[in-house]
Chain A
Amino acid sequence: MLRFLQNYPHFLEVVFDLFERVLQPFRRWLKPGSFWEPAVIWVEEVGKGAVFDCRMCGQCILHSTGMTCSMTCPKNLRNGPCGGVRTNGHCEVYPEKPCIWVQAYERSKDMPRYGYELMDIQPPVNRRLEGTASWINMLQGIDRELPEGWVNVEDVAVVTPQVAEEVKSTWTVN
């Protein structure tokens, strides 16, 4: 198993950056329904499965969630932990497992490039993309196609990243 790689989130975000660039030239071949699609799906299933326990939602946000797969949360939460986390930081549903959001938070602190994306509001999951290749969806912008109502609304960040960082450094949390 390659799960230990998740403990090197900074390494993984660098890999993600490189990988996105490497894939770009192949855009014209990597399309849904293309000859290559099954192969990409297979590679994702095996590769991301081994490292992240990937659930093939087809709209990967790993780099925004501390390189921790949010779909492995039993409640499929995309925006952070529920209120049921146990005092030892374990999951409400599976007491023997650590809460993936506790892990996501810890890991995102070691991610200078994408760590703060943990504060982004993630849109509802597009259930039609389940089982498709998220890399193809990323290259073709399919995973950024959102319900019309959702995109029409403007978001105002109530806390800027700078303020959050400044303030957090003064907190002593045990």
Chain B
Amino acid sequence: MDSELRTGGRLERVLHSGRFAVTAELNPPDSADAEDVYRAAIVLSTVCDGINAVDASGAHCHMSSVAICALLTRAGYEPIYQVACRDRNRIAIQGDLLGAAAMGVHNVLCITGDDVSAGDQPEAKRVFDFDSIQLLRTARMMRDDGFLLSGRKLTTRPRFLLGAAANPFVPPFEWRPLRLAKKIAAGADFIQTQYCFDVPRLQEYLNQVEDLGLLDKVYILVGVGPLRSERAAEYMRTKVPGVVIPDEVVERLHKTPKIQQREEGKRICIEIIQQVRELKGVDGVHVMAYRQEELVAQIIEEAGLFPRPRSGMKKDRG
């Protein structure tokens, strides 16, 4: 990684200083009220270094990610702007990237996006004008070379820490590390993975990534999250694209009385955080929980990741 900072944002400073980073997902409200965003943000902001503003995750319509970023930067929070290729073409995406940078967004996560068929409006038109790698490379081009895709020059370049998603838990396993290499070549500075419930598989993936010599070229944040109940686990592994939950985990919840399942799910999540923290090449965790910001805060605290560094500057230590 370059010694110079790309943005000077909080997330980048924490990652750059080599400390364990924490990011969390903000669930976008189905409302036109800014307070709904702030209510969630205030819980998350004290326990993490970056707040993901999701772009209609699961292809369900919510408040847009760029608007959430606008609200968050206005209040001084550090958002991670998620851009999915599903809903907008290249003209809209590049425009939004410029707008986001103008509002003070430091981090962008470039993803393909779940298919419309997984969402609440499966009749919608799929766009997928870009794929995630083309989007990453375009964002890198805007940042490093100061061009739009057409070749028109930008008068001021956006400054971004560019992120990408990775899912080590689904096939083709052999190609996943090579795909990571492709994303790094396209411009990824950091990676947030899909939910991890299978630590040995993650370990194997990281070993492969290390073999390719990629571990010091990218920051890897492992996705984690609590399972609310056995039913929620069943729902996630069958209905949410790309989430793999091993039978052992579901079995463990199944053996727990219903009333304690929530607590058990939280415990599993904390255990996973503590395990991945020990793995070489893991630079942080990304905590996701559907509409349970308080629970996310509890998990981060109980996993021993609290308090967070105040500004991510090295001199803050101790």
Contact = CB atoms under 8 A, between A and B. Distances in A.
Interface of A: 74-87, 89, 92-93, 99, 101-102, 105-106, 119, 121-125, 127, 147-150, 152-153, 155-159, 163-164, 167-168, 170-171, 173
B20 interface: no
Interface string B119-162: 00000001011111110011011001101111110000000000
Contacts of B150: 147-149
Interface string B184-219: 111000000010000000000000100111100100
B178 A159 contact: yes
Given A74-B115, A149-B141, A171-B174, A83 B147 contact: no
Nearest to B147: A149
Given A119-B182, A158-B214, A77 B128 contact: yes
Given A83-B194, A124-B149, A167-B212, A78 B115 contact: no
A124 B90 contact: yes
15 contacts: A76-B131, A77-B112, A80-B133, A83-B112, A84-B167, A85-B171, A87-B170, A92-B115, A105-B172, A105-B174, A119-B182, A125-B129, A148-B147, A164-B212, A170-B211
B133 A121 contact: yes
B199 to A, nearest CB: 16
A122 B182 CA distance: 10
Choose among B118, B138, B172, B181 the residue with the greatest number of A CB atoms under 10 Å from its CB. Answer: B172
A80 B217 contact: no
Contacts of B129: 124-125, 127
Given A92-B241, A149-B149, A171-B208, A99 B115 contact: no
B114, B131, B208: most-surrounded residue (chain A CB, <10 A): B131
Contacts of A167: 208, 211-212
B165 interface: yes
Contact of A79 (B134, B174, B212): B134
Given A121-B186, A159-B212, 19 more contacts: A78-B131, A79-B131, A79-B134, A80-B182, A81-B175, A83-B112, A83-B194, A84-B118, A84-B167, A92-B242, A93-B117, A122-B134, A147-B150, A149-B148, A149-B150, A149-B151, A152-B145, A152-B151, A153-B141
A86 B242 CA distance: 6
A101 B152 CA distance: 34
A85 to B, nearest CB: 4
A71 B274 CA distance: 41
A92 B118 contact: yes
B217 A158 contact: yes
Nearest to A70: B131
Interface residues of B, number: 54
A159 B221 CA distance: 21
Nearest to B89: A127
Contacts of B241: 83-84, 92
B173 interface: yes
A92 B244 CA distance: 13
Contacts of A173: 173-174
Contacts of B242: 82-85, 92
A3 B107 CA distance: 44
B159 to A, nearest CB: 17
Contacts of A149: 138, 141, 145, 147-152
Contacts of A164: 178, 181, 212
A79 B172 contact: no
A77 B174 CA distance: 19
A163 B212 contact: yes
A119 B112 contact: no
Contacts of A158: 181, 184-185, 212-214, 217
B291 interface: no
Contact of B128 (A75, A102, A152, A171): A75
A95 to B, nearest CB: 10
A138 B138 CA distance: 24
Contacts of B151: 147-149, 152
Contact of A153 (B112, B137, B171): B137
Contacts of A93: 115, 117
Contacts of A171: 174, 208, 211
A148 B145 CA distance: 12
